Amino acid sequence: MVSIPDNRNYEYAYQQSYQLAVERLAKIADYESLCGKSSSKYLDTPSGKFITLAYLNDTYRVAISETAVTMLSSGEVVPIRDRILILHYLLEAKGTPLSGQAITFKELSEGPVYFRTFTTRTIKHLVANFSENPQALLEAAGPLGGKKAEYGDAAVTIPAFSRVPITFVIWQGDAEFPAEGNVLYDSTVSDYLPAEDIIVLSETVVWKLVRGKP
C-alpha cells in the first residue's frame, strides 16, 4: 500500500512501494486470472508478456518481465505515483461487480483514520478551484472520460480504472452557506484499492481536473 509520509520522505516511500509492487507482480502464477479481476487484458507474445489496462481514459501497458509501465498513446515512462496505482490496482483487484451504491471516503473501514489527510489533499482543492464556477468541472472532466452525475450543483463521474469510478461533487454555496465538495466511490472500491491509494488516486484526478479547467 502507498503510505502517507511527510514531504521529506515522499520519494523514498514511493520508490519502496513501487519496488514491493514489482516483486509481488513477478510472483503471480496466473496472469489471466489477475487480468480478469481487474478488467485488464493479458498478452503473451513472442516479444514478451504484457498487461494492458485503462487508466484515466488512456491505455497503459505493463511489461511483466521488465515491470515497465508506459502509456500506449505516447510511449512515455509513467510517473511513479501512477505506476504504483496501476500495479496496486492489478494486484488488489478482487473482481467484485460494481454495486452502484455510492459511499464517501469516511465510510471506508479506514476512512475516519485518514479523513483529515483526504480532505486536505482532495476536497479542499476541489472546492477552491471549482466552487465559483461548478460547470467548469464538467468541462474539465471530458478528457478524462467523465460523465455528468446528478449530485450537488455540478458533479462528474470519472472511470479512474475500469472498476473504480469516482464521482466529484460541488455545491456552489451562497451568502448563507459556504461552498462544499465531496468525492463518492462505488461501495466496492476497497476490493480494488486500499484507503491510502484511494487518497493518492483522488488527489491525482483532482489535479488533472484543475489543470484541465477552462
Q: How does DSSP assign 83-121, residue by residue?
A: HHHHHHHHHH---PPP---EEEGGGSTTHHHHHHHHIII
% of residues, the chain, pLDDT over 90: 84
- Are 107 and 200 in the same domain? yes
Does residue 180 share a domain with residue 124? yes
Per residue in 189-206, pLDDT tens?
Answer: 999 999 999 999 999 999
State pTM to two decimals: 0.92
Do residues 81 and 106 share a domain? no
Query: Any idea which of 24-28, 75-79, 88-92 has the lowest mean pLDDT?
Result: 75-79
Q: Which residue range is the domain that position 64 belongs to?
A: 7-92
Q: Could you tell me if residue 2 is inside a domain?
A: no
Report the chain's mean pLDDT, rounded to a whole number. 93
Query: Do 11 and 79 reside in the same domain of the chain?
Result: yes
Total structural domains in the chain? 2
